[in-house]
A and B are shown apart, each in its own frame.
Chain A
Amino acid sequence: MKKTYKIEVDCANCANLMEDTTRKVAGVAGATVNFITQKMTVEFEEGQDPKTVMKDVLKACKKVEPDCEIEF
Chain B
Amino acid sequence: MSKKQKKMLIRIIIASLLMILLNVLKLPKAVSAAGYLVTYLVIGWDILRKAWKGVLNRRPFDECFLMAVATLGAIGLAVYERSGDYNEAVAVMLFYQIGEFFQSYAVGRSRRNITELMDIRPDYANIERDGALEQVDPDEVEIGTVIVVQPGEKVPIDGTVIEGSSTLNTSALTGESVPRECRAGDEIISGCINLTGVLKIRTTKEFGESTVSKILELVENASSRKSRSEEFISRFARVYTPAVVYSALALAILPPLVRLVAGMPADWNIWIYRALTFLVISCPCALVISIPLSFFAGIGGASHEGVLIKGSNYLETLSQVKTVVFDKTGTLTKGVFEVSGVHHSPLEDAELLELAALVECASSHPISRSLQRAHGKEIDRGRVADIEEISGEGVVGRVDGRPVAAGNDKLMKRLGIAWQDCRSVGTVIHIAVDGAYAGHIVISDLEKPNVKEAIRALRDAGIRRIIMLTGDAEKVASHVAADLGIDEYHAQLLPGDKVDLVERFLAEQSGREKLAFVGDGINDAPVLSRADIGIAMGALGSDAAIEAADIVLMDDDPMKIAKGIRISRKCIRIVYENIVFALAVKFGCLILGALGIANMWAAIFADVGVMVIAVLNAIRALRVKNL
Q: Which residues of A contact B (CB under 8 A)?
A: 10-14, 16, 32, 34-39, 41, 63-64, 66-67
Q: Across the interface, do B220 and A13 meet the contact criterion of CB distance under 8 Å?
A: no
Asked if B223 is an interface residue, CB under 8 A from chain A, the answer is yes
A22, B572: Cα distance in complex, Å: 29
Instruction: Report B-chain residues with C-beta under 8 Å of the C-beta of A14.
Output: 63
Instruction: Report A-chain residues with C-beta under 8 Å of the C-beta of B237.
Output: 13, 16
8 Å CB contact of A35 from B62, B283, B289: B289
Instruction: Report A-chain residues with C-beta under 8 Å of the C-beta of B296.
Output: 36-37
Instruction: Report B-chain residues with C-beta under 8 Å of the C-beta of A67.
Output: 50
Instruction: Report B-chain residues with C-beta under 8 Å of the C-beta of A32.
Output: 224
Q: A63-B59, A66-B53 are in contact. Are A13 and B284 (CB under 8 A)?
A: yes
A16, B241: Cα distance in complex, Å: 13
Q: Across the interface, do B288 and A13 meet the contact criterion of CB distance under 8 Å?
A: yes
Interface residue SS majority, chain B: helix
Q: A36-B293, A63-B57 are in contact. Are A13 and B63 (CB under 8 A)?
A: yes
8 Å CB contact of A11 from B220, B224, B285, B293: B285
Instruction: Report A-chain residues with C-beta under 8 Å of the C-beta of B234.
Output: 16
Given A37-B223, A39-B220, A63-B57, 10 other A-B residues pairs in contact with their CB atoms under 8 A:
A10-B104, A11-B63, A12-B107, A36-B111, A36-B114, A36-B223, A37-B111, A41-B224, A63-B59, A67-B50
Minimum Cβ distance to chain B for residue A12 (Å): 4
Minimum Cβ distance to chain A for residue B306 (Å): 21
Q: Across the interface, do A64 and B292 meet the contact criterion of CB distance under 8 Å?
A: no
- CB closest residue in chain B, given A19: B234
A34, B111: Cα distance in complex, Å: 12
The 5 closest A-B pairs by CB, nearest first: A12-B289, A12-B288, A63-B57, A32-B224, A13-B288
A13, B237: Cα distance in complex, Å: 8
A20, B101: Cα distance in complex, Å: 25
Instruction: Report B-chain residues with C-beta under 8 Å of the C-beta of A38.
Output: 111
A22, B288: Cα distance in complex, Å: 18
Instruction: Report B-chain residues with C-beta under 8 Å of the C-beta of A64.
Output: 57, 59, 62
Interface residues of B in 289-304 (CB under 8 A from A): 289, 292-293, 296
Interface residues of B in 176-226 (CB under 8 A from A): 220-221, 223-224
Q: A11-B63, A12-B288, A64-B59 are in contact. Are A34 and B224 (CB under 8 A)?
A: yes
Q: Across the interface, do A11 and B289 meet the contact criterion of CB distance under 8 Å?
A: yes
Chain B window 97-114, contacts with chain A (Cβ cutoff 8 Å), 1 for yes, 0 for no: 000100110010001001
Please, how many residues of chain B have a CB less than 8 angstroms from a CB on the other chain?
Answer: 27
A34, B285: Cα distance in complex, Å: 15
Instruction: Report B-chain residues with C-beta under 8 Å of the C-beta of A35.
Output: 289, 292
- CB closest residue in chain B, given A64: B59
A66, B50: Cα distance in complex, Å: 7
A37, B63: Cα distance in complex, Å: 23
Interface residues of B in 264-308 (CB under 8 A from A): 283-285, 288-289, 292-293, 296
- CB closest residue in chain A, given B115: A37
Instruction: Report B-chain residues with C-beta under 8 Å of the C-beta of A37.
Output: 111, 115, 220, 223, 296
A63, B63: Cα distance in complex, Å: 14
A63, B54: Cα distance in complex, Å: 8
A-B contact pairs, 8 of them (CB 8 A): A11-B289, A13-B237, A13-B289, A36-B107, A36-B111, A36-B293, A37-B223, A39-B220
Instruction: Report A-chain residues with C-beta under 8 Å of the C-beta of B283.
Output: 13
Minimum Cβ distance to chain A for residue B9 (Å): 15
Minimum Cβ distance to chain A for residue B238 (Å): 8
Chain B window 78-118, contacts with chain A (Cβ cutoff 8 Å), 1 for yes, 0 for no: 00000000000000000000001001100100010011000
Chain B window 555-583, contacts with chain A (Cβ cutoff 8 Å), 1 for yes, 0 for no: 00000000000000000000000000000
Instruction: Report A-chain residues with C-beta under 8 Å of the C-beta of B62.
Output: 64
Q: Across the interface, do B104 and A12 meet the contact criterion of CB distance under 8 Å?
A: no
Instruction: Report A-chain residues with C-beta under 8 Å of the C-beta of B104.
Output: 10
8 Å CB contact of B288 from A16, A34, A66: A16
Best-surrounded residue of A12, A13, A41, A64 (most CB of chain B within 10 A): A12
A61, B132: Cα distance in complex, Å: 50
- CB closest residue in chain B, given A10: B104
A7, B296: Cα distance in complex, Å: 18
Minimum Cβ distance to chain B for residue A64 (Å): 6
Q: Across the interface, do A13 and B285 meet the contact criterion of CB distance under 8 Å?
A: yes
A12, B290: Cα distance in complex, Å: 9
Instruction: Report B-chain residues with C-beta under 8 Å of the C-beta of A10.
Output: 100, 104
A14, B107: Cα distance in complex, Å: 14
Minimum Cβ distance to chain A for residue B366 (Å): 37
- CB closest residue in chain B, given A39: B220
Chain B window 224-246, contacts with chain A (Cβ cutoff 8 Å), 1 for yes, 0 for no: 10000000001001000000000
A53, B6: Cα distance in complex, Å: 34
Instruction: Report A-chain residues with C-beta under 8 Å of the C-beta of B289.
Output: 11-13, 35
A68, B59: Cα distance in complex, Å: 16
Q: Across the interface, do A36 and B292 meet the contact criterion of CB distance under 8 Å?
A: yes
Minimum Cβ distance to chain B for residue A61 (Å): 11
- CB closest residue in chain A, given B233: A16
Minimum Cβ distance to chain B for residue A13 (Å): 5
A13, B115: Cα distance in complex, Å: 22
8 Å CB contact of B292 from A11, A12, A39: A12
Instruction: Report A-chain residues with C-beta under 8 Å of the C-beta of B59.
Output: 63-64
Interface residues of B in 542-560 (CB under 8 A from A): none
Instruction: Report A-chain residues with C-beta under 8 Å of the C-beta of B107.
Output: 12, 36
A7, B363: Cα distance in complex, Å: 50
- CB closest residue in chain A, given B5: A10
A66, B293: Cα distance in complex, Å: 24
- CB closest residue in chain A, given B46: A67
Minimum Cβ distance to chain B for residue A69 (Å): 11
- CB closest residue in chain B, given A12: B289
Minimum Cβ distance to chain A for residue B141 (Å): 22
Instruction: Report B-chain residues with C-beta under 8 Å of the C-beta of A63.
Output: 57, 59
A32, B224: Cα distance in complex, Å: 7
Interface residues of B in 28-68 (CB under 8 A from A): 50, 53, 57, 59, 62-63
